[in-house]
A and B are shown apart, each in its own frame.
Chain A
Amino acid sequence: MRRKIIHWTICTLVLFCLLLGVTVFSLCVGSVDMSLEKILRVILEGKDTTEHSILFDIRLPRIILGFAVGGALSLAGVILQGMFRNPLVEPYTLGISGGAALGVCLNIVLGLNLVLGVFSIPFSGFLGAILVILVVYSLSMKRGILRIQGLLLTGVMISFIASSLIMLVMAISRVEDLHGIIFWIMGSLEEPNWFLIRVAVLVSILGLIISYLFCLSLNAFSLGEEQALHLGINIEGTKRLLFILASLLTGCSVSVAGIIGFIGLVVPHFVRMFVGGDHRILLISSFICGATFLIFCDTLARTIISPLELPVGVITGILGGSLFVYALSKKQVVLG
């Protein structure tokens, strides 16, 4: 036991150092490269210099949002994969992103964002996500039992419906609106509004804390629902709560940062390969790892062909996918 605790502590510390390292790296590079020394000097001295603004108004918000969104998405991935005992489930398979995208689409097309301001976009996204969650949830609820497989199928179907509706909306919308929609769908960590960034951070950290209270239940779930019940887990309550938690985490990330794919699928798997399937360490290390990964990808996205900026989803997909395939070929993956 002590060995396990030491092992876990080391894992967490290493990941944390990695997170710090990537954060510093991300602060350093950009169209104006700064050395670590210079950053320190800027922090200590200049409040009104350009460098200060670049660090604290441009780079830092992106890093913080990357932390929140990356963490939240991979956390949701771990929760859902643990709950469904299905390695292919990810936050987006449940149709939450589709709902959010539809909400945003309608907002842009109906011109609500012109009346209510740019900030109404994330809220309409969130509203769409909540709506989809409710539909999926109530459709899979039968006699007080949340049917997990039904949940998955309904989610997939709803997300197909949502994406068709999005295409419908796009087909009849104005060219300018189309661009707004496409932007949003591509996903980006650029967020001018500090308030939204704070909300995202708060939600993801709260999500981590709440889900951690259920880490043992998730461990029990890996044996199957019925056996989890035999181990004294209130499976219905836990399933419901975890589903809603994962949905809120996803809905929140998606509505702030748009659709950034792959993190919720790949990061949990990757982490599981290294730390094992025990959710007591899996939850926390996936969170940190997801955050690190997204910050890193975003840094690449904005520097790799500077001054052009790639959509961050491109990098997460290419990098995450190839890393994963590589690891898969090296090590036998353990699913479930």
Chain B
Amino acid sequence: MLEIKDLICGYDSKFFLKDINLRIEAGELVGIIGPNGSGKTTLLRAITRVLKPKKGTILFEKKDIWQMGYKELAKRIAVVPQDFAGVGMSVEEFVLLGRIPHFERYQFLETKKDLEIAKRCMALTDTTKFKNQLIQELSGGERQLVVIARALTQEPMLLLLDEPTSHLDITHQVGILDLIKRLNKEFGLTVIMVLHELNLASEYCQRLVLINEGRIHKIGQPQEVLEYRIIEEVYKTLVVVEKNPISSKPYILIVPEEERQKERKNGTKRIDSNLYRRW
């Protein structure tokens, strides 16, 4: 569905992303992970046409996205952004904005069909109850749901999310990621999301793309990518990787400095780690 070929892309003079090659098939749920400033969001911005690549192409359904019309692209790719704007609108108005790419040239009002789709998307995300509230009155988690509802209203084939769970408590983190998973399973929506939280990425994504310093470091299933050697190399932190006893997905434990020193003093070799050995 999405194919990125030899992408070089960046802001102004700095080339941030180098030699990115990536293929994403329809129906996949892919997570992009990496340290801060590694270029995750930049990659997302390249896919959504905010940044023009210096070199390379991004093909969506075998068509270069820069050859597509603005609306054409917006009908296919929807984005749930990291920052939030849109103060002063009711939730319903906000969700209806997602229908803009589907409007005809001189159409100013929503049709019945538009309203129905918006209604369905709100029901799907369980936001119908906020319908008439102002957007700024909602809590962070509720807002995130509303933004997802808006993105769904665009009826996209590909949904991009930029850290959908940052600043949320675990109830909302799980709630939102469950919803995304469900959308992916039931409606066959292809999803690419940037995630900070490695454990969440591990639990929910079929495939992970680890980016470091503007290059793809590793692509693969969670158990392939989330290996302690790789994580320690990229994140430069000591970690312990265990298995979730229920889902049998890898999860990552951190070791504070104090414990590390204790461990070293006692001489017990309980941590099998590159970094540990080096110290």
Residue A309 at the B interface, CB < 8 A?
no
Known: A216-B100, A219-B97, A232-B70. A227 touches B108 (CB 8 A): no
Within 8 A of B (CB), among A288-336: 334-336
Contact residues on A (Cβ < 8 Å of other chain), bracket: 20 to 34
Count contacts on B: residues with CB < 8 A to the other chain.
Answer: 35
| Interface-side segment among A31-39, A41-49, A273-281 | A273-281
A277 touches B108 (CB 8 A): no
Q: Which residue in chain A gives the minimum CB-CB distance to B105? A: A213
Known: A5-B109, A230-B48, A334-B87. A220 touches B73 (CB 8 A): no
Return the contact of B85 from the options A227, A232, A234, A280 (Cβ within 8 A): A227
Residue B49 at the A interface, CB < 8 A?
yes
Residue A1 at the B interface, CB < 8 A?
yes
Q: Which residues from chain B contact A229 at a C-beta distance below 8 Å?
A: 48-50, 70
Nearest Cβ on chain A to B27's Cβ, whole angstroms: 22
Q: Which residues from chain B contact A336 at a C-beta distance below 8 Å?
A: 85-88
A200 to B40, CA, bound (A): 51
B115 touches A216 (CB 8 A): no
A227 to B69, CA, bound (A): 16
Residue B110 at the A interface, CB < 8 A?
yes
Q: Which residues from chain B contact A234 at a C-beta distance below 8 Å?
A: 70
Return the contact of A226 from the options B73, B81, B110 (Cβ within 8 A): B81
A223 to B72, CA, bound (A): 20
B70 touches A278 (CB 8 A): no
**Which residues of B pack against A, CB within 8 Å?**
45, 48-50, 69-75, 77-79, 81, 83, 85-89, 93, 97-98, 100-101, 103, 106, 108-110, 112, 115, 134, 154
**Which residues of A pack against B, CB within 8 Å?**
1, 5, 85, 212-213, 215-216, 219-220, 222-224, 226-227, 229-234, 272, 276-278, 280, 334-336
For this complex, 26 residue pairs linking A to B, each with C-beta atoms less than 8 Å apart, are A5-B109, A212-B108, A216-B100, A216-B103, A222-B88, A223-B86, A226-B81, A227-B79, A229-B49, A230-B74, A230-B81, A231-B97, A231-B98, A231-B154, A232-B69, A232-B73, A232-B74, A232-B100, A232-B101, A277-B89, A278-B89, A334-B87, A334-B134, A335-B87, A336-B85, A336-B88
